[in-house]
């Protein structure tokens, strides 16, 4: 009993010294403790430099220092008592590992984000998923170290935990990773509301969520940890955002192609097509489509497959009603003065322009 107590005190003393070394190293490498309030007042450029440093330090800390501490614990305490070397290792670097996850969680919830043009993937999304990749690459060692679940009450952030509750029962490491992704998603959703254009807001969410899904699917380890159910939910959210983009884009165009108000009737007797209304509809559509084209040609969809899918879907939903509109109502105004100027776009023109949506260089 006495020898066990003495050994335990040796472990406590050793781990205290090594923890002090790790803490000093954290400070020397610029991993200071920051609150969300402090992060919130930093300019994005300065914050981005810190984020890059955090990611680099996290990679080296886990790959080099954690591995070194584990080896030293095994060399010193490995042959003395079963499990004592592992206990020493966890006690020594457990707090440092928790701090790295704390940084990742804060990173996912940074609200002071820079604007991104064209609805493309935000650099924060890439940084967070890079951080997650570091954890996945070191899954074995981190599984030993992360013993507690993440706190879902994070300072003044109000994040719905309905989705998070669905993954209860997973390992603490898995729960931390999922919580980081849940937090990032919630943060991106808040960011999307600052876009004045609803179509662009949906496109921004679609691109960023699609990036998260792709990064998960690229990593067999991460995919296994996240689980099929939550991955499916994220994929469904990508589709919902894509549908929202299409609806908000098409609504402003299909509005001009409706039949309402174009046909003049007296009781049930057809009296003809209102040329004035038909001309107004043509002008309205021409103006709206020109605005949509000029705007969305400069937007971005990095995922080539998703980009082509969106273009095709917009084309399939817009071309048939536009073609029908031209056949039914265009000839009614072609014979009038300047009639040929009202149908600005042929069906072929429209198809070509739609295929140039999201043509901005990545």
**What tens digit of pLDDT does each residue of 312-350 get?**
999 999 999 999 888 877 665 555 555 455 778 899 999
Over residues 46-74, mean pLDDT? 87
Is the model's pLDDT at 158 over the cut of 60? no
Q: Write down the pLDDT at residue 1.
A: 43
The mean pLDDT of 141-156, rounded to a whole number, is 75
CA angle 55, 145, 234 (to 5 degrees): 60
Do 11 and 91 touch, CB atoms closer than 8 A?
yes
For the segment 94-122, what is each residue's pLDDT rounded down to a tens digit?
888 888 888 888 888 887 666 688 999 99
CA–CA–CA angle 39, 191, 228 (5° rounding): 100
φ, ψ dihedrals at 333, nearest 5°: -115, -5
Please state the rounded mean pLDDT for residues 210-235.
Answer: 94
The closest alpha carbon to 48, from 98, 112, 105, 120, belongs to: 112
Mean of pLDDT over the chain: 84
Of 107, 134, 136, nearest to 122 by C-alpha is: 107
Percentage of the chain lying above the pLDDT 70 cut: 82
Beta bridge partners of 263: 273
Distance CA 223, CA 234 (A): 12
Q: State the average pLDDT over residues 251-258.
A: 91
CA 239, CA 244: separation in Å to the nearest integer? 8
Instruction: Give the residue ranges of DSSP H helices in 61-83.
Output: 67-77
Predicted confidence band of residue 60 (pLDDT cuts 50, 70, 90): confident
Q: Which residue has the higher pLDDT, 343 or 89?
A: 89
Specify the DSSP class assigned to residue 278: H
Residue 169 reports pLDDT greater than 50: yes
**Mean pLDDT of all residues in 249-277:** 70
pLDDT reported for residue 29: 78
Please state the domain extents for the chain: 2-197, 258-354
Structure letter (DSSP) for residue 81: S
Phi, psi of 305 (to 5 degrees): -65, -45
Give residue 308's pLDDT.
Answer: 96
307-334 burial code (b ≥16 CB/10 A, e <16): beebbebbbeebeebbeebbeebeebbe
pLDDT at position 253 is 95
How does residue 168 score in pLDDT terms, banded at 50, 70 and 90?
Answer: low
Instruction: Tell whether the model's pLDDT for residue 272 goes beyond 80.
Output: no
Q: What is the pLDDT of residue 270?
A: 44
H runs (alpha helix) in 67-153: 67-77, 84-108, 123-137, 139-145
- DSSP one-letter code for 157: B
What average pLDDT does range 39-50 have in this prediction? 78
Residue 112 phi/psi, 5-degree rounding, is: -85, 80
Band of residue 47 on the pLDDT scale cut at 50, 70, 90: confident
Q: What is the pLDDT of residue 298?
A: 93
DSSP state of 42: S
Say whether pLDDT at 199 is over 50. Answer: yes
- Would you place residue 266 in the very low, low, confident or very high pLDDT band (cuts 50, 70, 90)? very low
Q: Average of pLDDT values for 34-41?
A: 67
Per the model's pLDDT, the better-predicted residue between 181 and 281 turns out to be 181
pLDDT over 50 at 269, yes or no: no
Structure confidence at residue 48 (pLDDT): 84
């Amino acid at each position: 009993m006495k020898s066990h107590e003495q050994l335990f005190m040796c472990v406590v003393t050793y781990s205290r010294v090594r923890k002090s070394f790790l803490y000093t190293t954290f400070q020397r490498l610029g991993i200071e403790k920051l609150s969300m309030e402090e992060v919130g007042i930093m300019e994005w450029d300065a914050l981005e430099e810190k984020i890059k440093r955090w990611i680099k330090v996290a990679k080296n800390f886990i790959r080099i220092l954690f591995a070194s501490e584990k080896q030293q614990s095994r060399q010193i305490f490995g042959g003395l008592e079963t499990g004592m070397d592992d206990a020493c290792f966890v006690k020594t670097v457990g707090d440092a590992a928790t701090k790295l996850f704390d940084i990742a969680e804060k990173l996912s919830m940074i609200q002071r984000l820079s604007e991104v043009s064209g609805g493309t993937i935000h650099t924060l999304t890439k940084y967070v998923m890079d951080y997650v990749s570091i954890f996945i690459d070191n899954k074995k060692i981190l599984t030993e170290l992360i013993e507690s679940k993440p706190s879902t009450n994070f300072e003044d952030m109000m994040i719905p935990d309905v989705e998070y509750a669905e993954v209860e029962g997973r390992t603490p490491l898995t729960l931390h990773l999922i919580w980081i992704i849940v937090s990032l998603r919630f943060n991106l959703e808040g960011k999307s509301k600052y876009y004045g254009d609803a179509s662009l807001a949906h496109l921004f969410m679609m691109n960023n969520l699609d990036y998260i899904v792709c990064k998960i699917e690229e990593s067999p380890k991460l995919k296994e940890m996240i689980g099929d159910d939550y991955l499916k939910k994220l994929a469904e959210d990508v589709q919902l955002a894509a549908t929202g983009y299409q609806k908000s884009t098409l609504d402003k165009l299909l509005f001009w192609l409706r039949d309402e108000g174009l046909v003049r009737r007296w009781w049930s007797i057809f009296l003809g097509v209102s040329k004035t209304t038909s001309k107004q509809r043509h002008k309205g559509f021409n103006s709206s489509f020109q605005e949509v084209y000029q705007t969305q040609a400069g937007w971005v969809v990095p995922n080539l497959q998703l980009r082509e899918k969106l273009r095709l879907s917009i084309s399939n939903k817009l071309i048939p009603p536009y073609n029908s509109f031209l056949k039914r109502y265009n000839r009614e105004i072609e014979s009038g003065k300047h009639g040929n100027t009202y149908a600005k776009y042929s069906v072929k023109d429209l198809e070509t322009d739609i295929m140039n949506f999201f043509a901005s260089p990545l």
